[in-house]
């Protein structure tokens, strides 16, 4: 009886995390409380364990987003020479840090970082929409320089955004665009939604077939002219905020199947994703190349409390808020890779990193779709729940999940020009410890 009581006491001590976990793992403690981290925040009190070391895989994807909108990661340039100089420095930094892929935003706001018949030159490139560097082709140069350093080049395109938040009303803003702009030429295809701050978000109407064709044609134009390794869409589909009934006229006139408003909006986004899938496949068949198509959606598809197949989370849901069925795109194999933006720490109460990473791992299992985790490096040091070790811990956790094929970091500035000491320490701890040697990229199993 005494032995049984001693054994029960030992079990209680272990479950309380007072002894380290055995078997090459450690219990992760919450930096704000010192207690073991709950696996899914308030939805599960199971403990999170990390391996005692980073378990490097034979193939590992290591990417970084370079955002050009608002010149977040790449400045405007007055001439081709300064553009070339700064881009070479950028890809050299990536090479030295053992990254193997770059996600460069080439179409941030219905514009282009390449000579296009469909989209005007980007204001984020030269400072003035429609202005170029003469005969210099930035995208051709960037792809060549990336490949020279064994970096995959993912052409990052935002499908719908005209402007994320302007003080001008729709027609007034459209008059500021270059005359060849698709949005300026087709104001009736642009939706206007008033934001909480009084500004206006302008975006192409996803329910209009002409919009779908324009987006797919923009993808085809890049595929036909540049040896990019992938076409990449980010997380902006319908707005994160409620848009009310601003698309009611389109809903009434372009809904032959009589779908509900939510179903109709999701089908509109599906049409773009499937259209791009078909365009990429056709291009690959015609050229013999193996260009991939990937999307980086908001980290939460749906909460389990709303859909049985959802995750143990309680945050905003892209399935309902943005009408983006990212889980469906994986299951239908419309994408070759998925990069969910899991921009929350292990200790988050309603969007815990471990639970979400495992949920996405279960989504891709058996589909042949590659899973890369998107990490919010820019949040390191933003509070007690974002200590310097958070990124390294996330990478270490990923290394034990066979479905996780790598990571993409947001964004370049946070990695190479960190905004605070914690961010700098966190990046150095992760990259210099775990990515100190080059890595082969994973293969795409479903490419046609």
Q: Tens digits of per-residue pLDDT, 299-329?
A: 999 999 999 999 999 999 999 999 999 999 9
Q: How many domains does the chain have?
A: 2
pLDDT interval class at 6 (50, 70, 90) = very low
Q: Are 237 and 269 in contact (CB under 8 A)?
A: yes
Residues 280 and 138 in one domain: yes
- Specify the pLDDT at position 12: 31
Chain segment 251-306, per-residue pLDDT in tens: 999 999 999 999 999 999 999 999 999 999 999 999 999 999 999 999 999 999 99
Domain co-membership, 193 together with 304: no
Same domain? For 201 and 322 the reply is no
Q: Could you tell me the residue range of the domain that residue 199 belongs to?
A: 161-205
SS (H, E, C) 201-231: EEEECCCCHHHHHHHHHHHHHHHHHCCCCEE
> pLDDT band at 448, cuts 50/70/90?
low
Q: What is the pLDDT of residues 344-402, one digit of tens each?
A: 999 999 999 999 999 999 999 999 999 999 999 999 999 999 999 999 999 999 999 99
In a domain, 174, yes or no: yes
Mean pLDDT, the chain, integer: 94
Looking at the structure, tell me whether residues 165 and 150 fall in a common domain: no
34, part of any domain: no
Q: Are residues 171 and 262 in the same domain?
A: no
220-246 mean pLDDT:
97
Q: What is the DSSP letter of 392?
A: H
Sheet with 190-194: list strands edge to edge: 161-166, 200-204, 190-194
Which pLDDT score, from 0 to 100, does residue 415 have?
98
Same domain assignment for residues 283 and 368: yes
CA dihedral 334, 272, 154, 441 (to 10 degrees): -10
Determine if the pTM surpasses 0.85.
yes
pLDDT score of 447:
84
- Read off the pLDDT of residues 386-428 as tens digits, 9 standing for 90 and up: 999 999 999 999 999 999 999 999 999 999 999 999 999 999 9
Note whether 295 and 199 are same-domain residues: no
Do 234 and 198 have their domain in common? no
Residues 265 and 365 placed together within one structural domain of the fold: yes
pLDDT band at 15 (very low <50, low <70, confident <90, very high): very low
- Span 67-92, average pLDDT: 98
The C-alpha atoms of residue 267 and residue 259 are separated, in whole angstroms, by 9
Q: Is residue 447 part of a domain?
A: no
Alpha-carbon gap, residue 317 to 313, rounded angstroms: 9
Domain-located, residue 362: yes
pLDDT for res 5 = 40
One domain for residues 81 and 189? no
Residue 407 located in a structural domain: yes
Tell me whether residue 349 is in a domain. yes
- Domain boundary (174, 190, 205) is at 205
- What 3 state SS string does the chain have? CHHHHHHHHHHHHHHCCCCCCCCCEEECECCCCCCECECCHHHCCCECEEECCCCCCCECEEEEEECCHHHCCCCCCCCHHHHHHHHHHHHHHHHHCCCCEEEEEEECCCCECCCCCCCCECHHHHCCCCCCCCCCCHHHHHHHHHHHCCCEEEEEECCCEEEEEECCCHHHHHCCCCCCCHHHHCHHHEEEEECCCCCEEEEECCCCHHHHHHHHHHHHHHHHHCCCCEEEECCCCCCCCCCCCCCHHHHHHCCCCCCCHHHHHHHHHHHHHHHHHHHHHHHHHHHCCCCEEEECCECCCCECCCCCCCECCCCCCHHHHCCCCHHHHHHCCCCCEECCECCCCCCCCCCCHHHHHHHHHHHHCCCCCEEEEEEEHHHCCCCCCCCCCHHHHHHHHHCCCCCEEEEEEECHHHHHCCCCHHHHHHHHHHHHHHCCCCCECCCCCCCC
Beta bridge partners, 293, equal: 231
Assess contact for 310 and 317: CB atoms under 8 A: yes
Query: What is the rounded average pLDDT of the residues 421-445?
Result: 96
Both tokens of 273, joined, read 């994703």
pLDDT of 13 > 50? The answer is no
Q: Is residue 39 part of a domain?
A: no
Question: CB 208: neighbour CB atoms within 10 A?
Answer: 20
Share of residues in the chain with pLDDT > 70 (%): 95
Where residue 55 sits, what CATH number does that domain have?
3.20.20.80
Q: Are residues 379 and 319 in the same domain?
A: yes
Which structure tokens are listed for 376? 């919010």
Task: Name the region of 110 (left: φ>0; alpha: ψ -120 to 50; beta: rest).
Answer: left
For 18-52, the pLDDT digits (tens) are 233 334 889 999 888 889 999 999 999 999 999 99
How do 200-204 and 190-194 pair as beta strands?
A: antiparallel
- Of 175, 205, 235, the one marking the end of a domain is 205
Mean pLDDT along residues 152-181 = 97
Q: Is the pLDDT of residue 124 over 60?
A: yes
Least confident stretch, 24-38, 61-75, 83-97: 24-38
Phi/psi of residue 422, nearest 5 degrees: -65, -40
Same domain, 174 and 288: no
Give the C-alpha separation, 248 to 140, whole Å: 41
The strand ranges marked E within 196-309 are: 200-204, 230-233, 292-295
Asked, for residue 348, whether it belongs to a domain, the answer is yes
């Amino acid at each position: 009886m005494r032995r049984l009581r001693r054994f029960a006491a030992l079990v209680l001590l272990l479950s309380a995390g007072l002894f380290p976990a055995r078997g090459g793992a450690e219990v992760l403690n919450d930096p704000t409380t010192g207690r073991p981290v709950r696996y899914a925040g308030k939805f599960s009190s199971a403990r999170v364990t990390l391996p005692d070391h980073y378990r490097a895989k034979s193939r590992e994807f290591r990417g970084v987003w370079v955002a050009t909108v608002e010149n977040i990661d790449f400045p405007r340039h007055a001439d081709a020479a300064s553009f070339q100089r700064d881009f070479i420095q950028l890809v050299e930094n990536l090479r030295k840090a053992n990254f193997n892929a770059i996600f460069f935003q080439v179409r941030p706001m219905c514009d282009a970082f390449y000579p296009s018949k469909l989209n005007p030159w980007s204001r984020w490139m030269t400072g003035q929409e429609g202005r170029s560097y003469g005969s210099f082709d930035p995208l051709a140069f960037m792809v060549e320089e990336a490949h020279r350093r064994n970096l995959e080049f993912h052409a990052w395109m935002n499908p719908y955004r005209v402007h994320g938040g302007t003080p001008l009303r729709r027609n007034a803003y459209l008059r500021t665009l270059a005359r060849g702009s698709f949005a300026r030429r087709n104001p009736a295809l642009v939706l206007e939604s008033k934001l909480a701050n009084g500004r206006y978000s302008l975006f192409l109407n996803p329910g209009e077939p002409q919009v779908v064709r324009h987006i797919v044609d923009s993808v085809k134009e890049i595929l036909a002219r540049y040896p990019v390794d992938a076409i990449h869409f980010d997380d902006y589909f319908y707005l994160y905020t409620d848009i009310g009934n601003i698309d009611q006229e389109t809903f009434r006139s372009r809904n032959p199947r009589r779908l509900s408003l939510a179903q109709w909006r999701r089908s509109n986004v599906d049409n773009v994703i499937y259209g791009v899938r078909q365009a990429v496949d056709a291009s690959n068949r015609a050229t013999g190349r193996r260009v991939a198509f990937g999307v980086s959606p908001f980290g939460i598809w749906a909460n389990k409390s709303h859909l049985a197949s959802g995750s143990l989370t309680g945050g905003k849901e892209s399935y309902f808020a943005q009408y983006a069925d990212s889980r469906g795109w994986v299951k239908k194999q419309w994408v070759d890779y998925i990069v969910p933006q899991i921009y929350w720490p292990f200790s988050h109460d309603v969007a815990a990193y471990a639970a979400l990473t495992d949920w996405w791992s279960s989504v891709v299992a058996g589909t042949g779709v590659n899973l890369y985790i998107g990490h919010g490096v820019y949040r390191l040091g933003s509070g007690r729940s974002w200590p310097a070790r958070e990124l390294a811990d996330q990478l270490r956790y990923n290394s034990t999940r066979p479905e996780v094929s790598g990571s993409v970091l947001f964004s370049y500035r946070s990695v190479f020009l960190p905004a605070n000491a914690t961010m700098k320490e966190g990046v150095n701890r992760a990259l210099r410890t775990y990515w100190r040697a080059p890595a082969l990229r994973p293969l795409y199993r479903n490419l046609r």
